[in-house]
Amino acid sequence: MTRLLPEGLEISISKTRDLPTADQVARMQHLLLILPVSPKEELWNQLPHGDVLAALIRRRPSHAHAALASHLPGQGRVGVTISLVKAGDPLHKKQSELRKLAATALTEAPESVGILCLGFDDNDTAMLQGGAITALMLKSFPMPKQKREPGPLSRLRRLRVFGAAPGLDLSRLRAEVEGNNLARWLTALPPNQLDAGGYRRAIEELAQREGWEMKFLGEAALRKKSAGAFLAVCQGNADADAGIVRLRYRPARGGKKPALALVGKGITFDTGGNNLKPFRGMLDMHEDMQGSAVALGTLLALSRLKFPRAVDCWLAITENRIGAKAYKSRDVVVASNGVSIEVIHTDAEGRMVLADTLAMASNDNPACIIDYATLTGACVGALTSRYSGVFSNRESLYPLLVECGGSCGERVWGFPMDADFDEAIDSNIADVAQCSQDNEGDHILAARFLGRFVDPAIPWVHVDLSASHHKGGLGLVPTPVTGFGVRYTVSLLLDGQLLDQLPPGETG
């Protein structure tokens, strides 16, 4: 398992409002300076070499990017990157600027970076400082590469925040970064290395390191549980390595019954099965396990934060291959909760493996279930890859779900879950059709299908990860693989207090 933070990274926080001296700046190899748009003259006057920095900004072409890189005069090779941020801009725009700012600051591979944010109120200052720290840690994380000459690695070893604002929570930033890095690293691994067996071994190593209890339900065990939906998908695989992983995190005095169950789709490669994908549609299908990686990364972040409640994590791990034994359209299979399913399209395999996994998670009667899946192209069509979709069997949760996405920078949008959508997945020969033949609103139909396998007494949130891959990076994350969902879930639990807001009852 790779190291999830730069080795030996030291982060120091100076809470005094005194500005850094020229000597302190000189001890940094790079200074990252965040100022308001059109900084007032007194701000420049407070800064070491402020007159020079102001002149650099004024000479900048009006069409240039907000981040400006230069070197401080008389300070050897001390670099400086300046970004002008508009306080009233939405959070996602500020985070995008911080992502680009971090990339510019790390261009010369400094070992030490100072962060100075001036001219904002405490809330904005804390957000910008925390965002800059997060962006630097995410950018300095090495994603999997196996080139003969892998290129320069980050040398970042020391961060210093000057004039830290109240509310800057370093332990939470580290936990969220580690969880996101784990999710991205696993997702980016080549499919011949992170096949089902390799994934299970990686999880075993992580579980042993973190002290999680792990149980693996292989294909034989799943047959005993009559998990026909999951087994239908894996029956075309060359190897019998597929299965469902259950991890248990139990803090001291957290109780044995899970307050939360995290469920993730882990299709390590998706050919589409007999309904074979075209070339471009199959090219990045090793990323189809990102839902499980996000669930795993979230569990890691909660463990790092010593989350006080018991959490289970369920990961549905298999490939979806073609072959003589692969499942077919119009097959009828029965899931572990007794619901019969008419197969319509073999490339709708994600909802099949989640069906049995959600049913098993429900059997433990957690207070809440959250599942994550790169489930439907329809959700990307509806939202693009900037947002992810959320669905719930508790309509009253939607404002909280959307608000937490906006407040942490991983934006989500809630979709309807009205019962009349079920008309599109009626089956003449089974309890439910796997999907509709015409594909209209498939993201909603997929959620309605999954709801058949969740105990209606349990509040449930389904996250369709349409923002799992975004060209150029998204928010603070610098890579196309985003790990979307780790930061979001931590925000739901810690800021939104989701587990204390759970309503009784159910929607239609």
Q: 442: Cβ–Cβ under 8 A, 6 or more apart, which residues?
A: 376, 377, 378, 435, 436
CB 252 within 8 A of CB 241: no
- Pick the catalytic residue: 155, 225, 250, 277? 277
Instruction: Say if strands 30-36 and 112-117 run parallel, antiparallel, or are unpaired.
Output: parallel
- Round to whole Å and give the CA distance between 4 and 249: 20
Neighbours of 5 (CB within 10 A): 14
Question: If you write DSSP's letter for every residue of 82-96 in order, what string do you get?
Answer: EEEE-TTS-HHHHHH
- Pick the catalytic residue: 200, 351, 448, 452? 351
Alpha helices of 236-348 — where are they, by DSSP H? 279-282, 290-304
170-188 vs 486-494: helix axis angle to the nearest 10?
150
Q: 344, 328, 204, 187: which is closest to 269 by C-alpha?
A: 187
253 is a catalytic site residue:
no
Retrieve residue 358's tokens: 């959600």
Q: What is the total residue count of the chain?
A: 508
Place of tokens 């499942």: 327
CB 339 within 8 A of CB 452: yes
Burial class (CB in 10 A: 0-12, 13-18, 19+), 147: exposed
- Round to whole Å and give the CA distance between 261 and 369: 5
| Rg for the chain, CA atoms, rounded | 24
- Round to whole Å and give the CA distance between 432 and 452: 9
Q: 414: Cβ–Cβ under 8 A, 6 or more apart, which residues?
A: 389, 390, 391, 392, 398, 401, 402
351 is a catalytic site residue:
yes
- Round to whole Å and give the CA distance between 215 and 9: 34
Report CA-CA distances (Å) from 503 to 5, 362, 400, 411.
38, 17, 12, 23
One-letter-per-residue 3-state SS of 21-80? CHHHHHCCCEEEEEEECCCCHHHHHHCCCHHHHHHHHHHCCCCCCCCEEEECCCCCCCEE
Q: Which residues are catalytically annotated?
A: 277, 351
